[in-house]
Chain A
Amino acid sequence: MLLNLFLTFLKIGLFAYGGGYAMIPLIQHEMVTSNSWLAMSEFLQIITVAEMTPGPIAINLATFTGYKLAGFLGSLVSTIGVTLPSFCIVLILVKTFLWVRENPKIKGLLVGLRSAVLALIISAAVSIGKTAFIDFKVIGIALACFVILLWLDLHPAIVIVIGGGAGILLLLG
């Protein structure tokens, strides 16, 4: 399990272009869809906590998922797994960056990667929406949060707290 977790998060760290949000659909696929290591509701709890606690979301997600699946050592190997690709690739890029940026082939590659990540995040919104929207109240909360995000540009952590608070008010009991 530990080796599995390490390799899975290594893979996730290697392919998550665009940081934490790009990681959500990848973790969802590995943990919920293909391996059934986590229920969708557990996965949503993990995202909620990762958004509300300080630090990089990627680290929060990896630590929490690792802990849930295999305790302390699980969280350790997951976190190392998810940071290792960053570490190696950035160190390579430090030396080659200017050349990389000017190379038209690499530009095309980056357009491809960014487009894929955009599609991944949209698909995560769709598939999480299917689970999260258990009734019209939650859809209302989501719409209200979306409006708040677009117009007031509030911090993500605050919006999550607002959503959760509304959940307590509307859904409790």
Chain B
Amino acid sequence: MQLFSRTYLKIFATFFRIGVFTFGGGFSMIPLIKREIVDNHHWVSMEEFMEIIAVGQSAPGAVAVNTATFVGYKMAKYKGALAAILGVSLPSFLIILAIATFLLRFFNTPLLAAFFKGAAGAIVALLAQVSFVIGKRTLKGKLSFILTGVALVGLLWLRLHPLLVILMCAILGLWLGGGTKTSSGISLNLKDKGM
């Protein structure tokens, strides 16, 4: 029992460290996660790590949280997954709470207001660059171009609800990209669970 609780603590501490030292989220967290769990702890092999990242991107939600869940589960089943999620989320949670509690009232001072206005420009640039990077990876083949185009028209001109656009693209992708496989019963079953 002692040994088990030490495992949970170790998983928690490792992901806590990852949560504290990675800025920018998502893909910028991957190198540090690799260093901790592949190089330092040898919890998973490099091949397994690539698989984990692939799952992290196939599931919705934060890539870091998904990776933490997967690694934690591999190490120590459900409780391991829980320890990893708590570890990776807690630093964010505490730091944001501190900022919101102590600094929120200064946000509208002229200095910070000017900072936020400039930063907003940087955010637009960041989103444009992320679109660029994701676009390069996503836009492969006719289907992805058509679906992205349809989604853009739906979002920008028709002002459809984002969730409606996501569902629409998912269904179109499932329908048009599914090839000729007819055993759709299993796929649908999985879709229910996976969505």
Which residues of B lie under 8 Å from residue A132 when comparing CB positions?
A: 117, 120-121, 123-124
**Size bin of chain A's contact surface:** 35 or more
Q: Are A129 and B124 in contact (CB under 8 A)?
A: yes
Chain B at the A interface: SS class: helix
Is B45 an interface position by the 8 A CB rule? no
B62 touches A59 (CB 8 A): yes
Chain B residues with Cβ under 8 A from A32's Cβ?
none
Number of A-B contacts (CB under 8 A): 403
B55 touches A119 (CB 8 A): no
Chain B residue contacts of A129, Cβ below 8 A:
124
> Is B55 in contact with A67, judged by CB distance below 8 angstroms?
no
Known: A96-B190, A113-B169, A113-B170. A118 touches B59 (CB 8 A): no
By a CB distance below 8 angstroms, the chain B residues around A3 are none
Which residues on A sit within 8 Å (CB–CB) of B171? 112
How many angstroms between the C-alpha atoms of A70 and B173 in the bound complex? 38
Stretch touching chain A among B6-14, B35-43, B106-114 = B106-114
- Which residues does chain B contribute within 8 Å of A57, judged by CB atoms? 24-26, 62
Contact with A along B27-64 (1 / 0, CB 8 A): 11100000000000000000000010011111111111
We find that the number of chain B residues with CB closer than 8 angstroms to chain A is 107
CB distance from B132 to the nearest CB of A (A): 7
Cα distance A93–B194 when bound, in Å?
A: 8
- For residue A84, which residue of chain B has the nearest CB? B61
Chain B residues positioned under 8 Å from A142 (CB to CB): 121-122, 124-125
Q: How far is the CB of A170 from chain B (nearest CB, A)?
A: 7
The contact of A24 among B64, B127, B128, B181, by CB within 8 Å, is B127
Contacts of A91 in B (CB 8 A): 69, 73, 78, 81
Complex: how many Å from CA A55 to CA B94?
11
**Chain A residues within an 8 Å CB radius of B89:** 55-56, 59, 79, 83
> Across the interface, do B58 and A49 meet the contact criterion of CB distance under 8 Å?
no
Contact A115 B23 (CB under 8 A): no
Contact of B62 among A58, A150, A163 (CB under 8 A): A58
Per-residue 0/1 for B163-195: is the Cβ within 8 Å of any A Cβ (1 yes, 0 no)?
Answer: 101101111111111110100100100110111
> Of B55, B101, B139, which contacts A93 at CB under 8 A?
B55
Query: 15 pairs across A/B with beta carbons < 8 Å?
Result: A17-B57, A29-B161, A53-B96, A85-B61, A86-B65, A97-B54, A103-B190, A107-B177, A112-B174, A117-B134, A118-B135, A118-B138, A128-B120, A171-B117, A172-B110
**4 extra interchain contacts, Cβ-Cβ under 8 A, other than A115-B169, A165-B118?**
A11-B163, A111-B147, A149-B125, A149-B129
Residues of chain A touching chain B, judged by Cβ–Cβ distance below 8 Å, are: 11, 13-21, 23-26, 29, 34, 41, 44-45, 47-60, 63-64, 67-68, 72, 75, 79, 82-83, 85-87, 89-94, 96-97, 100-101, 103-126, 128-129, 131-134, 138-146, 148-150, 155-157, 159-168, 170-173
